[in-house]
Structure 1
Amino acid sequence: MRWYTADFDALSWHDVSVHGLRIVEGAHGVAELQLDIDFILEWVDAGHGGVRFRVAQAMLQFHEVSGLRLALDYVACSAGTTPFSIDAIRREPLRPPADGAGEAGADGANDYGPWRWRIEVNWPEGFLDFEASGFSQWLVGDPRDQDAPSLASSERL
């Protein structure tokens, strides 16, 4: 499965764990920002108020990234250093859309950008702010149905 910028409104990253962050240098001072995540494909009602999760390892890659600013505060929560957890990903356009903007191309990409992105982190407290033209996301591993919203280290590639 693959998703693109045009799919943004249909996706949620709430409680998604981030296991790795990589910056791939590009031309003209921009980069690709890659996040190795446990993507929650579905929150499944387990009955009696419980929930299970359909989770798969995935790569979330933002394109033509600039102005990256990030903060993760593990000290304030007095916890061990573990993968951080996303609360939400928000975006706003950096300029008004041109006529026809927002329509997906043949590759599923959306030309309505660039965007100002904010990844709000709920564990520990923090954020990532940056500008990017869009994103791609794809599954790296097979989906698993489980009680936890993130994969065990032994289940990750």
Structure 2
Amino acid sequence: MAKAAVKTKYSIRDFSSIDWHDNYIHAIRLDAEKFELILDLDFIHDWICGEGENYKFLISPSTLTFQNVSNLKIDVDWKDCSLDMSVGHVERSNPRKTANKKLTEYDWVIDLNWPEGSISFSATGFTQVSRTEPAVYDEQKIPADKRN
């Protein structure tokens, strides 16, 4: 039987079907000229039920880019914890037309489950692209020696 294809490109149209829970964030980049917020993350495509209560994870390194970003606030407290960062959930609210009436802008909040904190901003949309084919791992993140 052929293996089902895994979606490797997402956009704002996919928001209701995409889940970033427990995705590790490895880098945050700001492109001021393009008004973009860019996250380098380990995107979990699937949680695979294994032996007993153990899970494996189908993950690919991915680039998540939010467009037309404004009102950015990064509030993260790494005091007394490691430098890891993972997403709890992402909320989108308050749809409204941009000043030129051509796009819809939303308020976004990326609540973190590790460490305590959040990233909030306004943006018109996002794209997410997997940089490699997904692979199966024992943890919810790609080991450092396997990331590219």
Q: TM-score of the superposition, structure 1-length normalised?
A: 0.82
Aligned counterparts of 2:146 and 2:133: Cα–Cα separation in 1: 10
- Residue 5 of structure 2 corresponds to none
Offset at residue 112 of structure 1 (A): 6.8
1:126 aligns with 2:125: no
Pick one of 24, 34, 37 that aligns with 1:33: 37
1:137 aligns with 2:141: no
Offset at residue 93 of structure 1 (A): 3.0
Offset at residue 117 of structure 1 (A): 0.2
Cα pair 1:93 1:113 within 8 Å, conserved: no
Aligned counterparts of 1:48 and 1:132: Cα–Cα separation in 2: 42
1:2 aligns with 2:9: yes
Aligned counterparts of 1:112 and 1:9: Cα–Cα separation in 2: 19
Aligned counterparts of 2:82 and 2:140: Cα–Cα separation in 1: 19
SS for the counterpart of 1:94 is strand
Offset at residue 47 of structure 1 (A): 3.5
Change (3 A) 1:146 1:114: same
SS for the counterpart of 1:7 is helix
1:7-30 Cα shifts (integer Å, max 9, x gaps):
001000000000000000126xxx
Return 5+ residue gaps in structure 2 as ranges. Answer: 1-7
- Residue 87 of structure 2 corresponds to 86
- Residue 4 of structure 2 corresponds to none
- Residue 107 of structure 1 corresponds to none
1:41-69 Cα shifts (integer Å, max 9, x gaps):
00111141221100100000000000000
1:70-124 Cα shifts (integer Å, max 9, x gaps):
111111xx12223x0000011013327xxxxxxxxxxxxxx87211000000100
Q: TM-score of the superposition, structure 2-length normalised?
A: 0.87
- Residue 78 of structure 2 corresponds to 74
Aligned counterparts of 1:32 and 1:58: Cα–Cα separation in 2: 16
Pick one of 60, 65, 71 that aligns with 1:61: 65
Q: CA RMSD in A?
A: 1.5
Paired-residue identity, %: 29
Return 5+ residue gaps in structure 1 as ranges. Answer: 97-110
